[in-house]
Amino acid sequence: MFIRLVLAGRVLLYEPDALILHSHRIDVATLRSQVRSYGSGLSAMITKQLVTDRTSRARILRRTLPGLQHLFSARSPKNARKAAGFPRSLTRAELLGLAGGPFLYLRGRRTARHPARRPAADRPARALVRR
C-alpha cells in the first residue's frame, strides 16, 4: 500500500507522537543483515510495481534518477547525517540488498507459479494413501 500511496501522489505524514516498537540489534552483523533485508525488500517492492502495474512504470522511472542521487550523493539528507565513523559495511549491505531485491522478487514469483521448483522443505507434505 505504501508504494501505491506514494505513486498516487498522496501525502505521507510524520507523526512525532507515534510509538513504534522495535528491537535494537545486538551487534553489527545482525544489523548488517537487517539493513540488507531492508534494501532487498525496497527494491523487490519497486520491481513488483514495474512488473505488475503498467500505470506506475512511467512514474517509477521518472523517480529513478532522483532516487539514485538520494542513495549515492554525499549531500543527500540520507548520507549527510552519517557520522564519520559510520560502518561502511552497513552501506555495502544496503547496496547489496538493493541490487539483489529484483532477483529475489522474480525468483519468488517464479517459485509461486511452479511449486515443483520449491525446495522440499517449503512444499506441503503429501499424505500417503494406501489402497
Q: Is the pLDDT of residue 129 over 60?
A: no
Domain coordinates in residue numbering, the chain: 29-80+87-110
pLDDT at 118 (0 to 100): 61
Q: Look at 88 and 127; give whichever has higher pLDDT.
A: 88
49, 7 Cβ separation under 8 angstroms:
yes
Q: At what angle do helices 88-113 and 28-52 cross, to 10 degrees?
A: 50
Q: Look at 96 and 126; give whichever has higher pLDDT.
A: 96
Predicted TM-score of the model (pTM): 0.74
